[in-house]
Structure formats: structure tokens, C-alpha cells
């Protein structure tokens, strides 16, 4: 179940002749004249200069990463397949801008020189790897180690470092391996504002689902992700901003003169400087004083440029460039480089493809990475093909608690985009289509058989034409030829990429689907066994959310605590305990779980009722409503400030494309490390001592 392998032939890394700049680096490290390395490869240098050069310099470091395109609708980073990645040895002059009071800095590169040192192609999931001579990494690291603060100065903020900063910790290049983020807390709000709603929600969900000894690879990957998908513009002083009275050329000249005069250097050294061209932010150093403006000359690094065929012209265009300091260099393998492609790049949400066995009959075999063919008994089935549910993901907890083991079968509906894989290479088959009957929620009467029409999706490959969008006729017939193995399209064999939210076929309910194949005249030859899919893209509804407060533990004299207003509770100059009663109701078409949490000062209010009043996991297929009353106390000893509550609820709907823990556990997972349809209303209020 992996993306298609690349067949591009590259020479062995140690057989590639050194570039001029690499020869200069090796000469500086070894004391041997650079001219003696001219035109030689590492293998040849190793043979000719054995015992004269440290043998570690003849080794290579493997650098791996992924080219992705941020998806503004989902918050996901969609892979960019079959793009060409160039690793370029870069030496740049930098003008550093370090505004007072900010934890970050920016660089304005100028006078850059580059040479291509490696080239490769991303696979169907946007992944790439190449080899870099160890001596080159040694050269980059020595440059930074020999200078105060440089190891940190060229490091970009990650999600993890931003969370650390928001909690008042020193900003460092390290990334936390775990994080706990609770909706309704001040930290959550700050993280949402700085990192975005999608990232904050994913962190909160992954943190809530942690258990002792459980894997946290998903959270580690998220914490290591670049904090800012796009470069943030640096704040510039007014005197350096563009004036409408000056042309662009005169403005650049005035800026260079001003900066050169302030820094006491020759203006000619700023040749090529343009404040409209920047990279950052980067972590700044607080160990020593750094001026707001500082020039740094001849900084070595390996940067990236990525090209891709994005139209029918056959000419690759640049989809990523100028990525200085993308790699957190060390002398071990580096495997977390993420390159964020521009909006013009061709990306895919479907990068993993299952191995689909096919015979001479039409069949539906997989939805995403989950099989649609059940194993022989007594092995538990994957699906209920009649009712339309997946039976392994998110099973019920008969005791209603979050921590207990799930007991299959589940009634998990599907959500978002579904990739259906099937077999169409049947003798005589020239066309195929998928037809369905639809049964609305609460009904038992299916519609007439209807074809999927107007749905198209991209296929990619490594030879021209590089991309194709599938196309059906008005009756839903697609050509089977595009799924032929010889055509080499990826992913293959997707028979339908069904966006259950944005396509014309987006109503929630039961779709019972069959695959049909036909001859060249579109005469029906054969039909697959039908498979049901219950679609549920709805989020839970919090139908009741009310709160009251009192100074009395029995809630006598209780006052309403408005949840849509700025409320202040005065507990007196001599503070009293504040008792809070929270009443809530949640309903969903397919409820999974409900959790109520409190946050704010000193961790929030203290729960004084049973844990079952603030947590629930559905007990059986009919358990889709939760109503509860929870009580809390804010002790007199707790500090004044802002307190809040959050009601988080999600459904058991899932997507089998592999974005959660499903493939790792053969779809026997509960709870998942990812959630799909949720709601989390929250409110806050202030406690004062007056």
C-alpha cells in the first residue's frame, strides 16, 4: 500500500564529479589544493588521496523530505507527485532584520551564487531523497558552530517551538515530542490565532487521545511541521517603506544608501539587495545582543528548487524556490524536510494506493485503503455491505467510558472524499460506470438506480502527458483504457474519486453502489456485487448549553451565568468558593464521544461531580444523544482571572484514506488519533476579588 516507485535512473552519488564550490570546500577542510580535485568524483578522490584525507569526508548523508501544497479548505498538506527537486549548493549574503521585542528575525538575501548538486523526482506521495557529501554538511555546520548564535539563527519556527513560546518558555530550535492543548483555554486561543484553527484542533484531538505507551507519531509529525506555511512579511521601519513618489528603482537605491550609511559599510556591497525579497521568520538569538539590522556575508547552505509539469505545454515550471535554511543540518540522516509548493502546483489528496487483486469480473475492492471484501469467518468483517457501515473503526464502548476497550461491530459511516478502487479489466469491456440507489436517513425506500455523472479526478504519471483528468459521458460511462496497467497512471485503479461534500452527490444517507462494465457500444456485460456506504458529513449539535453559579455548594441562590456575554463574578475582597453548574445536551446522527473540559487560571475550574457527567462514548448504534449536568468549583485559593468551559463532541464517521491510525491497526482502532466531524462551543468569564 505505497505510492508508485520511481524508475528514474540517477548516477551513484560517489560517481558524480565535484562542483567547483565543492572542490573549494574540500580543499579548505583538508589543506589540499582545490585544483587537484577538479573533475574528480568522491570515489576517485577516495582512491587517489587515501590516508591523506579523513575517510569520514568520503561518506554521504541521506536527506529526505516531501513536497506538499497546503490545502486551505482542510488544513491538510496535500502531496505533490512527480515533481523534480533540485538541491542547490548556495552561498548568500544576508541582511538580517531583528525587530526589538519579537522572538523572530528575517533575512534579505543578496549576491547569491548557486550550483545544482543533486536532482531527484518525487513519488506519488511527494516524497524525495538524495545524498549529500558529508564534507559539505561539515562545511555548513563548521561555519555555524564557529560563530555565536548561528546554529539557532538559521532555524525556522516549528509548530512545537511556537507552542513552547506561547507558554512563556525560551524560544529554542528544539521541538517538543508531545503537547497537550485543550479547547477553551487561553493557550488554545493563542495557538489558534497564530497557527490556524485546523492545526489547533488537530493538536487538541491528538493530545486528548493519548494513553500510556501509545504511539504519538502523528503528533510528533505535526509538532515538527513548519509553523508558517507562507513566509511572514517582516516589519519595516517607515523610512524604508515604498513611497509613491519614487520609482521602484529609486526606492531600492535610497534604501541601500540608507542602510549602508547606518551600518557603516560600502553601498556597493548591497548590490542586488531588495527588501521585497525576504525569507523567514527564523528564530532569533537571545544569548547576546543583536542589532536590529546586521549584514552577514557568504553564508553557505543547500537550498531547493522544485519544478513540475502543471499544464499541457510540456514545459516544467517552478513551484518552489528560494528555500534557504530548509534543512536542520546534522551529520546523520535528515528526514523531515517539508517544501511548501505554490498554489499552481498539482497536488493530490490520494497518494497511497492499495494493491488491488483483479480477476475477469467487475468488482469493488477497496474504499481508500480499507478492503471492501470481507475475510472468511471467523475473522471479523470490515464492512456491512447491506447496512453500509464499516464494522471495525470506532466501535461502541458498552460502559459509555472513553478509556474502555471497544466491542465490535461498529456502525461507522463514511465522510469526506472516498476513493473507490475496483476491477474493470474484463474481457470485452471498453467502458465502466458506477450506479447507486439512495436511501435517505429514516427511510427504508431506496431511489431508482442512478449513475454517478460529472465527477472527475486527476491521474498522474512520470511520462508525457503527465496529468489527465478522467471524464465520463452524460450516462456516467468512463473508458476502461485509463485503468490499464500499461498506461501507468497513478493512483490505479481508482474507479471513482467521490467528494461526498462538494460534488452533486452530497446528501447524507445510504448509497448502495454497483460497478458495471460495457462493450464498445455501451452494452452491459457484467455487474459487480453491490456495496453500501452510509455517508454522514454532519457535525454534532449542542442543543443545550446553560450555566449557573452560586457561593453555596448546594447551588441555592444560583444566578445565571450567560455564555454569550462578558461576565464578571465578584467573589469579594475576601474570596469565597464559586460553585458552577453546567447543563448541556448533545445530539448527532452517529455520535462517537462527548468531552467537557475547563480551562484558564490554575488549570480551570475543578470538577466536583462524577467523571461520567463530563465524558461519554457511545454505547450502541442507537446511543446518539447525551444530556448531563456537571458541577465545578473555583476555590477561593485559586487566582482571579479568566476561566472557561468547552464542550467537545464528535461523530464516529471516518475516512479510510489513511490519514489516521486505521491502516496500522487493520481498522481495529478506538479511539483514533484523528477526528473528522466535530463541534466544540466554548465560553469564558472573569473571576475578580473586589
224-235 confidence digits (pLDDT tens): 777 886 778 888
Q: pLDDT tens digits for 419-442?
A: 999 999 999 999 999 999 999 999
CA angle 152, 154, 156 (to 5 degrees): 90
Q: Three-state DSSP class for 405?
A: coil
Alpha carbon of 519 to those of 161, 451, 494, 515: distances in Å? 59, 17, 20, 14
pTM: 0.78
* 3-state DSSP of 374-400: CCCCCCCCCEECCCCEECCCCCCCCCC
Alpha carbon of 391 to those of 383, 384, 408, 486, 580: distances in Å? 5, 7, 7, 36, 40
Beta-carbon contacts of 651 under 8 Å, excluding residues fewer than 6 positions away, are 413, 415, 536, 538, 539, 540, 588, 589, 590, 591, 592, 676, 677, 678
Longest dimension (CA), the chain: 92
User: According to CATH, where is 2.60.40.3880 located in the chain?
Assistant: 541-688
Per-residue pLDDT at 212: 41
CA angle 80, 84, 86 (to 5 degrees): 120
Query: In whole angstroms, what is the distance from residue 591 CA to residue 574 CA?
Result: 44
Report whether 327 contacts 334 (CB < 8 A): yes
Residues facing residue 632 across a β-bridge:
580, 607
pLDDT confidence tier of residue 213, bands split at 50, 70 and 90: very low
Beta-carbon contacts of 175 under 8 Å, excluding residues fewer than 6 positions away, are 158, 159, 160, 161, 223, 224
Per-residue pLDDT at 671: 64
For residue 649, is pLDDT > 90? Answer: yes
Per-residue pLDDT at 1: 40
The single-letter DSSP state of residue 449 is -
Report whether 605 contacts 580 (CB < 8 A): yes
pLDDT confidence tier of residue 217, bands split at 50, 70 and 90: low
For residue 5, is pLDDT > 50? Answer: no
Q: 244-251 contacts: CB < 8 A, separation 24 or more?
A: none
For residue 120, is pLDDT > 50? Answer: yes
Report whether 518 contacts 525 (CB < 8 A): yes
Residue 331 burial (CB count, 10 A): 12
Q: Poorest-confidence range of 122-136, 280-294, 563-577?
A: 280-294
First-to-last CA distance in the chain?
Answer: 64
Per-residue pLDDT at 8: 46
Mean pLDDT score across all residues of the chain = 88
Q: Where are the alpha helices (DSSP H) in 87-133?
A: none
Q: pLDDT tens digits for 373-400?
A: 999 999 999 999 999 999 999 999 999 9
Query: In whole angstroms, what is the distance from residue 364 CA to residue 284 CA?
Result: 54
Report whether 574 contacts 657 (CB < 8 A): no
Beta-carbon contacts of 5 under 8 Å, excluding residues fewer than 6 positions away, are 123
For residue 552, is pLDDT > 90? Answer: yes
pLDDT confidence tier of residue 6, bands split at 50, 70 and 90: very low
For residue 331, is pLDDT > 80? Answer: no
Per-residue pLDDT at 159: 85
485: phi then psi, degrees, rounded to nearest 5: -55, -35
For residue 577, is pLDDT > 80? Answer: yes
- The architecture (CATH level 2) of 541-688 comes to Sandwich (2.60)
Report whether 460 contacts 492 (CB < 8 A): no
For residue 248, is pLDDT > 90? Answer: no
Query: In whole angstroms, what is the distance from residue 489 CA to residue 462 CA?
Result: 9
Query: In whole angstroms, what is the distance from residue 634 CA to residue 639 CA?
Result: 9
The single-letter DSSP state of residue 515 is E
For residue 284, is pLDDT > 90? Answer: no
E strands, 344-456, are 363-367, 370-371, 383-384, 389-390, 417-423, 431-439, 450-451
Q: At what angle do helices 186-195 and 159-166 cross, to 10 degrees?
A: 140
Beta-carbon contacts of 569 under 8 Å, excluding residues fewer than 6 positions away, are 549, 561, 578, 685, 686, 687, 688
Rg, Å, the chain Cα set = 30
Beta-carbon contacts of 450 under 8 Å, excluding residues fewer than 6 positions away, are 435, 436, 437, 438
pLDDT confidence tier of residue 178, bands split at 50, 70 and 90: low
Residues facing residue 363 across a β-bridge:
423
Alpha carbon of 414 to those of 185, 191, 209, 652, 670: distances in Å? 31, 30, 21, 9, 16
The single-letter DSSP state of residue 529 is P
Greater pLDDT, 214 or 354: 354
For residue 177, is pLDDT > 80? Answer: no
pLDDT confidence tier of residue 211, bands split at 50, 70 and 90: very low
Query: In whole angstroms, what is the distance from residue 603 CA to residue 642 CA?
Result: 11
Mean pLDDT for the stretch of residues 499-520: 97
Cis bond before residue 671 (omega within 30° of 0): yes
Q: Three-state DSSP class for 297?
A: strand
For residue 167, is pLDDT > 70? Answer: yes
Query: In whole angstroms, what is the distance from residue 484 CA to residue 424 CA?
Result: 9
Q: b/e map of 232-254 (b: 16 or more CB within 10 Å)? A: eebeeeeeeeeeeeeeeeebbee
Please name the helix (run of DSSP H) or strand (run of DSSP E) that holds residue 358, with its range, or none.
none
Q: Three-state DSSP class for 49?
A: coil
Q: Poorest-confidence range of 189-193, 332-336, 569-573?
A: 332-336
For residue 555, is pLDDT > 70? Answer: yes
Amino acid at each position: 500500500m505505497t505510492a508508485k516507485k520511481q524508475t528514474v535512473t540517477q548516477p551513484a552519488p560517489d560517481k558524480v564529479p565535484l562542483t567547483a564550490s565543492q572542490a573549494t570546500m574540500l580543499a579548505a577542510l583538508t589543506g589540499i589544493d582545490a585544483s587537484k580535485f577538479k573533475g574528480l568524483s568522491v570515489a576517485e578522490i577516495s582512491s587517489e588521496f587515501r590516508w591523506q584525507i579523513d575517510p569520514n569526508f568520503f561518506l554521504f548523508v541521506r536527506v529526505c523530505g516531501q513536497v506538499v501544497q497546503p490545502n486551505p479548505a482542510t488544513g491538510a498538506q496535500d502531496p505533490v507527485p512527480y515533481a523534480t527537486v533540485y538541491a542547490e549548493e548556495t552561498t548568500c549574503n544576508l541582511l538580517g532584520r531583528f525587530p526589538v521585542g519579537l522572538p523572530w528575525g528575517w533575512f534579505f538575501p543578496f549576491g547569491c551564487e548557486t550550483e545544482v548538486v543533486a536532482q531527484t523526482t518525487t513519488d506519488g506521495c511527494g516524497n524525495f531523497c538524495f545524498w549529500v557529501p558529508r564534507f559539505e554538511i561539515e562545511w555548513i555546520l563548521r561555519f555555524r558552530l564557529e560563530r555565536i548564535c548561528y546554529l539557532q539563527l538559521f532555524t525556522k519556527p516549528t509548530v512545537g517551538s511556537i507552542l513552547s513560546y506561547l507558554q512563556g518558555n525560551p524560544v529554542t530550535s528544539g521541538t517538543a515530542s508531545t503537547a497537550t492543548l485543550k479547547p477553551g483555554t487561553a493557550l488554545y486561543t493563542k495557538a489558534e490565532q497564530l497557527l490556524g484553527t485546523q492545526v489547533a484542533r488537530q493538536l487538541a484531538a491528538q493530545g486528548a487521545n493519548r494513553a500510556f505507551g501509545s504511539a504519538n507519531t502523528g503528533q510528533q509529525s505535526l509538532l515538527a511541521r513548519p509553523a508558517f506555511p507562507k513566509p511572514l512579511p517582516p516589519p519595516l521601519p517607515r523610512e524604508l517603506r515604498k513611497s509613491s513618489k519614487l520609482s521602484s528603482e529609486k526606492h531600492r537605491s535610497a534604501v541601500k544608501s540608507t542602510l549602508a550609511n547606518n551600518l557603516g559599510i560600502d553601498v556597493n556591497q548591497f548590490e542586488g539587495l531588495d527588501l521585497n525579497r525576504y525569507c523567514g521568520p527564523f528564530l532569533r538569538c537571545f544569548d547576546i545582543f543583536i542589532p536590529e539590522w546586521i549584514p552577514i556575508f557568504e553564508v553557505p547552505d543547500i537550498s531547493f528548487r522544485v519544478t513540475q509539469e502543471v499544464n499541457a505545454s510540456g514545459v516544467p515550471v517552478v513551484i518552489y524556490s528560494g528555500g534557504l535554511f530548509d534543512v536542520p543540518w546534522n551529520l546523520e540522516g535528515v528526514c523531515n524536510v517539508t517544501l511548501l509548493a505554490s498554489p499552481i502546483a498539482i497536488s493530490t489528496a490520494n497518494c497511497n494506493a492499495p494493491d488491488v487483486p483483479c480477476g475477469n469480473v467487475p468488482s469493488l475492492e477497496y474504499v481508500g485503503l480499507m478492503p471492501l471484501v470481507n475475510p472468511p469467518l471467523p475473522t471479523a468483517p470490515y464492512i456491512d455491505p447491506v447496512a453500509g457501515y464499516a464494522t471495525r473503526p470506532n466501535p461502541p464502548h458498552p460502559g459509555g467510558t472513553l478509556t474502555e476497550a471497544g466491542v465490535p461491530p461498529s456502525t461507522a459511516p463514511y465522510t469526506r472524499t472516498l476513493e473507490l478502487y475496483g476491477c474493470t479489466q474484463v474481457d470485452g469491456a471498453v467502458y465502466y460506470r458506477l450506479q447507486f440507489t439512495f436511501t435517505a436517513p429514516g427511510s427504508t425506500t431506496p431511489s431508482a438506480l442512478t449513475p454517478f455523472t460529472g465527477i472527475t479526478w486527476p491521474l498522474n504519471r512520470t511520462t508525457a502527458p503527465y496529468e489527465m483528468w478522467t471524464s465520463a459521458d452524460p450516462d456516467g460511462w468512463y473508458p476502461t483504457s485509463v485503468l490499464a496497467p500499461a498506461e501507468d497512471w497513478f493512483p490505479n485503479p481508482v474507479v471513482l474519486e467521490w467528494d461526498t461534500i462538494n460534488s452533486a452527490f452530497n446528501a447524507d444517507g445510504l448509497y448502495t453502489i454497483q460497478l458495471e462494465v460495457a462493450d464498445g457500444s455501451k452494452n452491459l456485460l457484467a455487474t459487480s456485487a453491490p456495496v453500501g456506504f452510509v455517508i454522514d458529513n454532519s457535525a454534532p449539535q449542542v442543543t443545550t448549553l446553560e450555566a449557573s453559579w452560586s457561593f453555596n455548594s448546594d447551588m441555592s441562590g444560583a444566578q445565571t451565568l450567560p455564555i454569550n456575554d462578558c461576565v464578571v463574578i465578584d467573589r469579594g475582597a475576601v474570596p469565597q468558593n464559586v460553585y458552577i453548574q453546567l447543563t448541556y445536551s448533545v445530539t448527532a446522527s452517529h455520535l462517537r464521544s462527548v468531552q467537557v473540559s475547563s480551562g484558564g487560571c490554575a488549570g480551570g475550574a475543578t470538577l466536583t461531580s462524577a467523571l461520567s457527567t463530563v465524558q461519554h462514548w457511545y454505547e450502541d448504534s442507537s446511543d446518539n444523544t447525551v444530556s448531563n449536568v456537571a458541577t465545578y468549583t473555583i476555590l477561593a485559593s485559586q487566582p482571579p482571572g479568566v476561566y472557561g468551559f468547552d464542550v467537545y463532541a464528535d461523530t464516529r464517521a471516518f475516512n479510510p484514506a489513511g490519514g489516521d491510525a486505521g491502516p496500522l491497526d487493520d481498522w481495529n482502532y478506538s479511539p483514533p488519533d484523528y477526528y473528522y466531524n466535530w463541534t466544540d462551543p466554548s465560553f469564558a468569564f472573569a473571576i475578580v476579588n473586589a
